[in-house]
Amino acid sequence: MAHSCRLNVAFFLFWGVRMSFEMHFYVVKTPDGLYHVQNIVAGHLGQHHVHSEKSYERWAQNVDKRLIHYLGEKECNCGLKCGDVREYDGAVWHNPKFEEEGK
pTM recorded for the entire structure = 0.78
Residue 3 pLDDT greater than 50, yes or no? no
At residue 9, the 3 state secondary structure works out as helix
pLDDT (tens digit per residue) in 37-95: 999 988 889 999 999 999 999 999 999 999 999 999 999 999 999 999 999 999 999 99
Question: In the structure, how many helices (H) and strands (E) does the chain have?
Answer: 2, 6
In this structure, are strands 44-51 and 68-73 parallel, antiparallel, or unpaired? unpaired
